[in-house]
Amino acid sequence: MHILFNQMELEAQIREIVEQHLPGEQFFITEVRAKQGGAKTKVAIFVDGDQGIDIGICAQLNRKVGLELEARGLMSGPYTLEVSSPGLDQPLKKPRQYRRNLGRNIRIHLTDEQVEGELDSVSEALITVKQKSKKGEVTVRQIPFEDIIKTHVLVSF
């Protein structure tokens, strides 16, 4: 049995389903991926919250989304469904994720350079990063979201 598979359309439909089942305004989707691997499709949904998200909410979403995928007949063949929070290895994608990480050190990948510093502020259009020189001087840099390729939170121990 083959899956009728248009990746972008399927991802958009799954996103719509997840949005209907999010348990509150504080939760949001960071990414939906549907990739066919052989005879099986892997659906990965990453959800976050303004105050974080726990495994119970992810499990609840997994059940509800799985039932609705079946009810709508979107998956006509075997598939796996994973609903989780984006881990530390996942880049920040939404301004809401950046806001959750204010005051933390981040590494921003731009087209021609990498920038590291403390995330100082976030607007809908850009972020502000404080950078310290080796001499201890602080500079502030504003970086528009459109210039960012990816951003990772730096974990300090």
pLDDT digits (tens, 9 = 90+) for 71-126: 999 887 899 999 999 887 889 999 999 999 999 999 999 999 999 999 999 999 99
**Token output for 137:** 């001087």
10 Å Cβ neighbour count for 45? 23
CATH code for the domain in which residue 55 is found:
3.30.300.70
| pLDDT given for residue 37 in this prediction | 77
Which pLDDT score, from 0 to 100, does residue 7 have? 82
Predicted model pTM: 0.77
Task: Say yes or no: 54 and 104 in one domain.
Answer: no
- For residue 144, the domain's CATH number is 2.30.30.100
pLDDT tens digits for range 36-58: 877 889 999 999 999 889 999 99
Is there a domain that residue 1 lies in? no
Q: Is residue 43 part of a domain?
A: yes
Nearest to 128, CA basis, from 153, 156, 98: 98
Least confident residue range of 11-20, 57-66, 88-97, 125-134: 88-97
Q: Cα separation of 126 and 108, whole Å? A: 12
List Cα–Cα distances, 21 to 11, 24, 38, 48, in angstroms.
15, 9, 29, 13
- Among 52, 84, 116, give the residue marking a domain's end: 84
Give me the domain span that covers residue 63: 7-84
